[in-house]
Structure 1
Amino acid sequence: MQEPLITSPVPGQTLTVAPVAGSLRISGQPEIPSSKYYTLRYVLAATLADGESVIYYPAQSDDSEALFRGCRALGAQLAWDDAERRVLRIKGIGGRPPVQGPVTIEVGNAGAVLRLLLGLGALLPQVTFETDHPLSLGKRPNRELLEALASLGVAYEATGPEGCVPLTLHGGNLRGGHIRISGARSSQYLSALLFLCPLLTEPVEIEVVDMLKSQPLARATLEVLQEAGIVIEHDAALRHFKIQPNQRYQPREYVIPGDYPSAAALLAAASVATDPASELRLTRLRPGEEIGEALLSAFRAMGADLVRDGEQITLRGGRPLHGIELDGDVVIDCIPVLVAAACFAEGRSVFFNIESLHYKESDRIDDLCAELQRAGCDVEPRQDAIIVNGRPEGIEGGVTVDGHNDHRLLMALAIVGMRSRHGLTITGGEHIVKSYPHFFAVLRALGANLY
């Protein structure tokens, strides 16, 4: 493989996606990152356990580093077994942080890390969360979670009416009781409470009001908690939860699977390739994961030539795609790259039930559509949807587009640039390190013309 592209964050980095001579072939078998979702949840479970846990293949990214900083601040001991950082040992805190004085945690641009650590931060007498991304994470709302924590006895000071960082919690002496939490903006609020409440000395009941967004991630939280020995009663609709007090997280060995949202970006790139000899093979993608199965179904519905064999997925490109209508909530983090692929499909695509994308690292509806329109795509943003009129012949390009400090937008714009007649220049490329530092280098090794 050639030297990596943009694997260290240097502000102001740009990326050029140039046309290729002849047809575009995307082929290879790259190693994909480990799951960000499961890394976050397993590391937190290990941090809360009484004893040492071992985690194999944790994700490596800026978000992971923010997570590790937070867990160390809670009092956990983290150590790598190997130079490649494939095996992580965590000596947990036994559900009770040993920290007595004020703590400050820098969470970078990691929204999910922030929300889940907010729950566990309630165990501390005082903890302040800060970010060096005030225009991104600094604008993301936490009000509903902070109000729920206040009902357990936590006092807080936050920025603005929506509870943005920087913010400070004053916790430590928590009570149980009945909590109402909104699920309309994020399932992360619920997940934060599910990690925290088993450690309290009084029982807790949680009632989810409104619709719960991103339910597969809430189910992933419940799966990890069960593996860690935590018992939570709940209904099938994930609206009502009963949690008994004084539970103990058990030390375990955890193996992190591959990351489906990262795989989605590579699958989208291969699906828009024009050379029928294109063939992408991806491994370590565990069957049965709700997000993964929904993602593969979406690609198949678009006409992609895709086959699963156990944990391996093979996609052959150079096939015509066609428009789809997709409820995007289940695959919410994959929507930008699916939209990018739909830009080259025959006909109209509608991605709906995606309003929560307005509240991510960027506005992944309005910002994404603005940049795609600038590149020459026919897309229309709605409050809860993105409508795409595909252009199988390709797009014009020849302009500069902005990644809006968002790794998911950068992936989508790079894919679109591959099918532009005059290429694209993408600003803010350094933000790819948030989840997939080597993405651009992998895309180039697969056949894209990036520099």
Structure 2
Amino acid sequence: MSDRLSPSLPSTVMVSPSNLLPSQPEIPSSKYYTLRYALAAALAPGESRIILPAHSDDSDALFRGCRALGAELRWEDEQERVLLIRGTGRPYQPAPVTINVGNAGAVARLLIGLGALLPEVTIVTDHPQSLGKRPNRELLEALITLGVQCEGSGLEGCLPITLRGSAIHGGRVTVSGARSSQFLSALLFLAPLLPDGLEIDVVDGLKSQPLVRTTIEVLQEAGIQIEYDTSLLYFRIAAGQHYQPREFQIPGDYPSAAALLAAYAASTDPTSQLTLSRLRPGDEVGEYLFATFQRMGADIQRTGDTIVLRGGRRLHGFEIDGDPITDCIPVVVAAACFAEGESRIYNVESLHYKESDRINDLCAELRKAGCTLEPGQDTIIIHGRPEGIEGGVTVDGHNDHRLLMALAIAGLRSQRGLTLTGAEHIAKSYPHFFEELRRCGGNIRSLTTKEARPS
């Protein structure tokens, strides 16, 4: 199986004011579940089937990583809707190996954890100004405690990172959860394969707890037993466990759905209606996201795995803890820019450490477009403009797919449109986002280099 080629995407797009149409788009599969199920399959002896895996730059990066760990991957069908993974039971590569994780932070952290089982592995990125600046110090400190030799870049353990794990052992380890839950998820995937098992104490609190519960769910489905307290601050994983080959069905992706839901929630046209299917009910991120749109006054309903949102409703200000839906926050902020009154989103400090600074960078670009926001260390305050914004400027996506989605929503409600640069980075999670928004009635066109050049 070779790397899937991403579609050729424009680097600059123009998003003009639009009335959205009734639409039933097919949203991407969940990135969260694709990454975790594929990794579990790569660690299981025998063949697993991944049904409807996500197609994105991030999933491609993980598939490269799975092959580097010794797994074999191939598509069962020409449509690439079923991925077959023959796992190794334990990562194995006798010679030093290098893995390019692209701009995929979660993939990097998960592979840093499991790469510690190899004699020598180097994790690199070809996005030094984005993922190359994200810290991994807390995870490396935990691995050093377990006997792994770790060489990172700078004091914060940035990529590239080289690991030598010939002396790795289990025992008890402490890891901080203050900046990212991905450090903990990496240790949880590693733990069953350690000779002495592992006990994990989480200190400094834990961000993005729903994603840790997703990790636990996937590990348990793959046959791994985990003891943990309800606060998710202590874990015990016994040694001698083995991942089991399974068939895994990937649900729809809530952060991708959030972008389309936010666009329709901000729409002023009462005939606009969005219907999204394959969104697993009971999902912690999904339920909190659904409640957030309700809180802002959107007309949103759920029946089973289908969500319907009708536009043209007057949105109003709201206040939420943003940590449970951290990857959805940029598009929620964009919708709040067109609500009546003030909105406040707090407990989002971790957004500073994503592909971009999703607080300061997002607010700066939306301000250029005419929105009114107050960025803080842990908060974003939005003063809504129900009448819309002026637009007519160029805004930059900061190499961040989530910012691009948010800026596109703002462009739809602008008077003069917005020009988005760096649009090709949408491929990280949702390569067809602009195309899908166009099918929903969005007035979106790709610009040539000459057209995009400032006059």
The verdict on a shared fold, with TM-score over 0.5 as the criterion, is yes
**Deviation of 1:8 (Å):** 2.5
C-alpha distance after superposition, 1:280-322 (max 9, x if no partner):
0000000000000000000000000001010100000011100
Counterpart of 1:29, as a letter, is Q
Counterpart of 1:374, as a letter, is K
Is there any run of 5+ residues in structure 1 with no aligned partner, and where?
1-5
Which deviates more, 257-266 or 238-247? 238-247
CA distance in 2, matches of 1:372, 1:329: 21
C-alpha distance after superposition, 1:156-183 (max 9, x if no partner):
1111100000110011331111100000
Q: Partner of 1:49 in structure 2?
A: 44
Q: Partner of 2:452 in structure 1?
A: none
Q: Partner of 2:255 in structure 1?
A: 261
Q: Partner of 2:12 in structure 1?
A: 14
| Corresponding position: 1:242 with 2:236 | yes
CA distance in 2, matches of 1:370, 1:70: 35
Contact kept, 8 Å, 1:48 with 1:94, in 2: the verdict is: yes
| Corresponding position: 1:38 with 2:36 | no
Q: Partner of 1:387 in structure 2?
A: 381
Q: Partner of 2:420 in structure 1?
A: 426
TM superposition score normalised by structure 2: 0.96
Q: Partner of 2:68 in structure 1?
A: 73
Q: Partner of 2:297 in structure 1?
A: 303
CA distance in 2, matches of 1:420, 1:340: 12
**Deviation of 1:232 (Å):** 0.9
**Deviation of 1:26 (Å):** 3.6
Q: Partner of 1:129 in structure 2?
A: 123
Classify the secondary structure of the residue corresponding to 1:224. helix
Q: Partner of 2:341 in structure 1?
A: 347
| Corresponding position: 1:336 with 2:334 | no
Classify the secondary structure of the residue corresponding to 2:212. helix
**Deviation of 1:204 (Å):** 1.5
C-alpha distance after superposition, 1:306-360 (max 9, x if no partner):
0101010000001110010010000000000000000000000001000000000
Contact kept, 8 Å, 1:274 with 1:318, in 2: the verdict is: yes
CA distance in 2, matches of 1:305, 1:287: 18
C-alpha distance after superposition, 1:243-293 (max 9, x if no partner):
111210000000000000000000000111111001100000000000000
CA distance in 2, matches of 1:80, 1:337: 33
| Corresponding position: 1:63 with 2:52 | no
Trace 1:20-419 onto structure 2 (pairs within 5 A).
20=18, 24-95=19-90, 97-419=91-413
**Deviation of 1:88 (Å):** 0.4
Counterpart of 1:339, as a letter, is V
How many residues are matched? 440
Counterpart of 2:403, as a letter, is L
Contact kept, 8 Å, 1:26 with 1:270, in 2: the verdict is: no
TM superposition score normalised by structure 1: 0.97
Contact kept, 8 Å, 1:18 with 1:418, in 2: the verdict is: yes
C-alpha distance after superposition, 1:361-415 (max 9, x if no partner):
0000000000000000001100001000000000000000000000000000000
What is the root-mean-square deviation in Å for CA atoms of aligned residues? Answer: 0.9
User: Identity percentage over the alignment?
Assistant: 68
Contact kept, 8 Å, 1:27 with 1:270, in 2: the verdict is: no
**Deviation of 1:19 (Å):** 2.3
CA distance in 1, matches of 2:187, 2:140: 11
C-alpha distance after superposition, 1:165-222 (max 9, x if no partner):
0110011331111100000000000000000011111032100001100000000000
CA distance in 1, matches of 2:166, 2:430: 36
CA distance in 2, matches of 1:395, 1:423: 9
**Deviation of 1:9 (Å):** 4.8
CA distance in 2, matches of 1:83, 1:386: 45
Contact kept, 8 Å, 1:281 with 1:313, in 2: the verdict is: yes
Q: Partner of 1:3 in structure 2?
A: none
CA distance in 2, matches of 1:326, 1:27: 29
Q: Partner of 1:450 in structure 2?
A: 444
Is there any run of 5+ residues in structure 2 with no aligned partner, and where?
1-5, 446-455
CA distance in 2, matches of 1:226, 1:185: 25
Classify the secondary structure of the residue corresponding to 1:277. coil
C-alpha distance after superposition, 1:32-66 (max 9, x if no partner):
00000000000010000011100100000000110
CA distance in 2, matches of 1:336, 1:172: 42
